[in-house]
């Protein structure tokens, strides 16, 4: 209570400066996890709830699925367009995943951070490992399935993978879970519990904002 009283008794200009300093600590949040764990659903719920982030849109060469929107879910590019962006060094990281290319545009991140806006980027575990090497001060969150059986149900529900692809993704998921030491935080993503996941992300962001030595990302 003593701290609160003395804090609010500061001169207005000093209080404003303190708030500005804290708000300028823009975070880059890297959200990752196995295919089918619910990364897209979590991000969609964060948008619905009005969480004030810039949601970095990944570029990909894979075909658009039903209900997906270009420029919102992904930037859907031809291989030629993707290759041109690679040649121009416009990606923070890119990878070939299950025969399709995925890349994180640099300009979306730099633009958001320069404006003091926290940015969220969704990548697979391989992409998270790459970003960790480039930007170790980003905040890395792993979304984990409650069980392999639950993950299999989600993948089957999508009806976008053949039996062989499904088996491959499940095997890869088991390997990706071994990469947990790479991340700062892990959240179990249970089906129909999206608000719970979003609340935990809120708590992580709040904690990161209170660091004595903030994580500053510079591109």
Q: Which pLDDT tens digit goes with each residue over 132-170? A: 999 999 999 999 988 877 777 777 776 556 677 777 777
pLDDT value of residue 172: 78
Average pLDDT over the chain, rounded to an integer = 85
Structural domains in the chain, sorted by start: 26-209 (3.40.50.300)
Distance of CA 118 to the CA centre of its chain: 11
pLDDT value of residue 130: 95
pLDDT value of residue 1: 40
pLDDT value of residue 7: 38
pLDDT tens sequence across 70-114? 998 899 999 999 999 999 999 999 999 878 999 999 999 999 999
Q: Per the structure block, which two tokens stand in for 207?
A: 């904690």
> Is the pLDDT reported for residue 18 higher than 50?
no
> Is the pLDDT reported for residue 9 higher than 70?
no
> Is the pLDDT reported for residue 21 higher than 60?
no
pLDDT value of residue 23: 44
Average pLDDT over residues 17-37: 73
Q: Per the structure block, which two tokens stand in for 51?
A: 């969480």
What is the chain's Cα-based Rg?
19
Determine contact, residues 33/143, Cβ cutoff 8 Å. Answer: yes
> Is the pLDDT reported for residue 5 higher than 70?
no
Determine contact, residues 161/189, Cβ cutoff 8 Å. Answer: no
């Amino acid at each position: 209570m003593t701290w609160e009283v003395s804090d609010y008794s500061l001169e207005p200009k000093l209080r404003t400066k303190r708030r500005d300093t804290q708000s300028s600590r823009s975070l880059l949040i890297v959200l990752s996890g196995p295919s089918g764990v619910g990364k897209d659903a979590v991000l969609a719920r964060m948008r619905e709830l009005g969480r004030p982030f810039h949601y970095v849109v990944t570029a990909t060469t894979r075909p658009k699925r039903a209900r997906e929107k270009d420029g919102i879910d992904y930037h859907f590019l031809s291989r030629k367009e993707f290759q041109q962006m690679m040649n121009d060094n416009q990606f923070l990281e890119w990878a070939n995943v299950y025969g399709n290319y995925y890349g994180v545009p640099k300009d979306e991140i730099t633009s958001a951070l320069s404006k003091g806006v926290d940015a969220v980027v969704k990548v697979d575990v391989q992409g998270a490992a790459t970003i960790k090497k480039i930007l170790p001060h980003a905040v890395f969150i792993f979304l984990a399935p409650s069980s392999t059986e639950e993950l299999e149900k989600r993948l089957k529900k999508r009806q976008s993978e053949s039996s062989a692809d499904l088996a491959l993704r499940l095997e890869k998921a088991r390997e990706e879970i071994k990469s947990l030491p790479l991340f700062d935080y892990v959240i179990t993503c249970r089906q129909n519990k999206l608000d719970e996941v979003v609340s935990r992300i809120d708590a992580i962001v709040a904690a990161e904002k209170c660091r004595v030595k903030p994580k500053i990302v510079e591109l």
